[in-house]
Amino acid sequence: MTPAMSRPFLKMNGLGNDFVVVEARSQPFAPSAAEVRAIADRERGIGCDQLIVLEPATTEADIRVRFWNADGEEITACGNGSRCVAWLVMEATGRDAAVLEVGDRLLRTQRAGEGLVSVDMGEPGLDWTDIPLDEPMDTRGIELQVGPIDAPLLHTPGCVSMGNPHVVFFVEDADIAPVREVGPMIEHHRLFPQGVNVGFAQIKARDRIRLRVWERGAGLTKACGTGACAALVASVRRGLTDRTARLELDGGDLTIEWRASDNHVIMTGAASLDYSGTLP
């Protein structure tokens, strides 16, 4: 990594899902896993759920975006982080739209009101190989349960890929769901060779879902954008909700639409700039 001294960063959040954002278009920034963990450490570093690095685009996009989880692993999708970067680009250019290059995908974004950004997250991956799973299963409801065989606490979750893997359990009450107890166990379950984000979704109405997410590599966060997208898709596939719903997360609400016209998932929510600083 190039010397971190005097390198500026922005601290941002999307519904409390917080990020350290580093500009690397003029000076490369390639942190090691240990350096990511040091930056993300909430006691000795800056503290964040994910590190975001902005690089020159290699396509027609405005900017290339890379994400690392707090555990130091680079990931290929982050919905709330994408919204924050899109807001930065639109503020810098004065335009009401921006295109982000994330991995091998282009995410098209636009303003959706004061402090609000919509991101076209593309089509969800629904085949077992898309997640991926360790063996073939119907991803509407996979063969997985937590608790006694004859009286499982949780069972038959849905699986969706939003560029990263998600499993969604449907629960009676998300506020008392065993997120901290079950999340880490399922995150590393053998069925998910790349690990998995674990959602706990409570259907409150055809257009309202309460959601909490144990994020792969980050733990319980206040919000997970791709998790909200996955929960809506999993709910629609089970006939539990309509194709547009408000997702209630610990940090605030997201509006998610799974568009019938092109099968794309549209995520709309807030993006906030907290403060700027210099990497220690």
What is the secondary structure of 5-44 as a DSSP string?
TT-EEEEEEETTEEEEEEE-SSS-----HHHHHHHH-TTT
Cis peptide bond prior to 152, omega within 30° of 0? no
User: What's the confidence (pLDDT) of residue 172?
Assistant: 97
User: What's the confidence (pLDDT) of residue 95?
Assistant: 97
Instruction: Find residue 51's DSSP bridge partners.
Output: 20, 68
The active-site residue out of 48, 84, 159, 224 is: 224
Residue range 32-57: average pLDDT? 97
Residue range 79-89: average pLDDT? 97
Q: How far is CA 17 from CA 73, 153, 250, 252, in A?
A: 17, 28, 10, 10
Task: Using DSSP bridges, classify how beta strands 165-170 and 158-161 pair: parallel, antiparallel or unpaired.
Answer: antiparallel
Q: What is the mean pLDDT of the chain?
A: 96
- Contact criterion met (CB below 8 Å) for 120 and 107: yes
Does 280 have pLDDT greater than 80? no
Long-range contacts of 253-260 (CB under 8 A, 24+ apart): 253/15, 254/15, 254/223, 254/225, 254/228, 256/228, 256/229, 256/231, 256/232, 257/232, 258/124, 258/232, 258/233
Q: How far apart are CA 71 and CA 74, in angstroms?
A: 9
What's the chain's Rg over C-alpha atoms? 18
Alpha helices in the chain (DSSP H): 33-40, 79-93, 179-187, 225-237
- Contact criterion met (CB below 8 Å) for 230 and 214: no
Residue 202 tokens, joined: 């409570």
Could you tell me the residue ranges of all domains in the chain?
Answer: 8-122+270-278, 145-263
The active-site residue out of 48, 78, 84, 159 is: 78
User: What's the confidence (pLDDT) of residue 1?
Assistant: 44
Residue 60 DSSP class? S
Is 159 part of the annotated catalytic residue set? no
Is 48 part of the annotated catalytic residue set? no
Residue 131 tokens, joined: 């997640």
What residue type is assigned to position 54 of the chain? L
| Multiple choice CATH, 145-263, 3.30.1330.180, 3.40.50.620, 3.40.50.300, 3.10.310.10 | 3.10.310.10
Each residue of 108-153: pLDDT tens digit?
Answer: 999 999 999 999 999 999 999 999 999 999 999 999 999 998 899 9
Residue 66 tokens, joined: 């890379």
User: What's the confidence (pLDDT) of residue 202?
Assistant: 98
Each residue of 224-275: pLDDT tens digit?
Answer: 999 999 999 999 999 999 999 999 999 999 999 999 999 999 999 999 999 9
pTM of the model: 0.94
> Same fold for the domain at 8-122+270-278 and the one at 145-263?
yes
| CATH superfamily, region 8-122+270-278 | Diaminopimelate Epimerase; Chain A, domain 1 (3.10.310.10)
Does 277 have pLDDT greater than 50? yes
Does 199 have pLDDT greater than 50? yes
User: What's the confidence (pLDDT) of residue 4?
Assistant: 45
